[in-house]
């Protein structure tokens, strides 16, 4: 009896040979007694069991493949979300960096403007202070405690010597005027009709006051008046 060929998994297989290969090995005696029909039946039975197992494994593989596909899809979504967030973060970082650069540039402009104003206002403020009463009072306070030092400084120059001569003459005249006026006032108090001419005395001298226009404090030659004073540290 010629056995039929069947198609299994797109391959041509001899049922008898397939049955003998799938079924457990038999003793030679059992092989001799098996009829082709029995061999085919046993082969089909074993093949059915193998197909069921293969279908189950295939289903598990399909389920695993679906799970893997779902997992991959989720991972792709997460990656896309992370890439989107990264892009937003990079854009925000660039915006912050630009704003920081703008703030730094504006800060430099303000610093430069303040420095320029300070340079312009510095000399004017010093000049204004030197023209104030506070400055004159400070100079007078410093001079009052260092008159001898100032006089010695004046003597080191011809201008200083002339200044001392003028100051000395003025002081002498003031002293002379003061004594004369005090004496004449005393005589007038004793004799209301007192007159210098009647008593044969010289007329009362003019009051040798300082000039009405005195140099302003901001024109005082500090280095000339205070030769040993560091003017730069005075302010």
Q: How distant is the alpha carbon of residue 55 from its chain centre? A: 72
Q: What is the pLDDT of residues 186-204, one digit of tens each?
A: 988 988 888 888 888 888 8
User: Is the pLDDT reported for residue 34 higher than 70?
Assistant: no
| 181 Cβ neighbours under 8 A, 6+ residues apart | 204
pLDDT at 210: 52
Identify the weakest region by mean pLDDT among 6-20, 67-81, 120-134. 6-20
Q: What is the pLDDT of residues 45-72, one digit of tens each?
A: 666 666 666 666 566 666 666 777 787 8
How far is CA 143 from each of CA 34, 70, 227, rounded to the nearest angstrom?
A: 145, 97, 11
Q: How distant is the alpha carbon of residue 116 from its chain centre? A: 21
Helix H or strand E segment including 12: strand 11-13
| 119 Cβ neighbours under 8 A, 6+ residues apart | none
Q: How far apart are CA 74 and CA 65, in angstroms?
A: 14
Phi then psi for residue 37, to 5 deg, are -65, -45
Q: How far apart are CA 125 and CA 139, in angstroms?
A: 17
Q: What is the pLDDT of residues 100-130, one digit of tens each?
A: 788 788 778 878 887 887 777 777 777 777 7
Length of the chain: 235
Q: How far apart are CA 233 and CA 212, in angstroms?
A: 32
The neighbour count for residue 154, using CB atoms within 10 Å, is: 20
Residue 141's pLDDT band (cuts 50, 70, 90): confident
Question: Dihedral of the CA atoms 77, 82, 83, 87 (nearest 10)?
Answer: 140
Mean pLDDT of 13-33: 49
pLDDT at 63: 64
pLDDT at 215: 45
Q: How distant is the alpha carbon of residue 220 from its chain centre? A: 45
- pTM greater than 0.75: no
For the chain, give the percent of residues with pLDDT over 70: 60
Q: How distant is the alpha carbon of residue 150 from its chain centre? A: 50
pLDDT at 229: 41
């Amino acid at each position: 009896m010629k056995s039929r060929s069947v198609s299994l998994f797109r391959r041509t297989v001899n049922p008898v040979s397939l049955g003998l290969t799938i079924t457990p090995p038999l003793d030679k005696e059992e092989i001799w007694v098996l009829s082709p029909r029995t061999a085919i039946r046993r082969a089909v039975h074993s093949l059915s069991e193998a197909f069921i197992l293969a279908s189950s494994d295939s289903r598990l593989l399909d389920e695993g493949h679906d799970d893997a596909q779902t997992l991959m899809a989720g991972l792709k979504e997460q990656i896309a979300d992370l890439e989107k967030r990264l892009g937003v973060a990079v854009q925000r970082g660039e915006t912050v960096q630009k704003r920081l650069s703008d703030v730094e540039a504006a800060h430099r402009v303000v610093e430069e403007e303040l420095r320029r104003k300070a340079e312009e206002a510095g000399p004017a403020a010093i000049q204004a202070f030197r023209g104030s009463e506070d400055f004159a009072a400070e100079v007078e306070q410093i001079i009052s405690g260092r008159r001898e030092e100032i006089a010695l400084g004046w003597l080191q120059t011809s201008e200083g010597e002339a200044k001392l001569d003028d100051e000395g003459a003025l002081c002498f005249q003031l002293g002379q005027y003061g004594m004369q006026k005090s004496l004449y006032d005393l005589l007038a108090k004793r004799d209301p009709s007192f007159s210098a001419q009647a008593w044969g005395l010289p007329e009362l001298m003019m009051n040798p006051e300082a000039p009405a226009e005195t140099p302003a404090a901001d024109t005082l030659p500090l280095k000339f008046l205070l030769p040993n004073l560091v003017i730069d540290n005075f302010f």
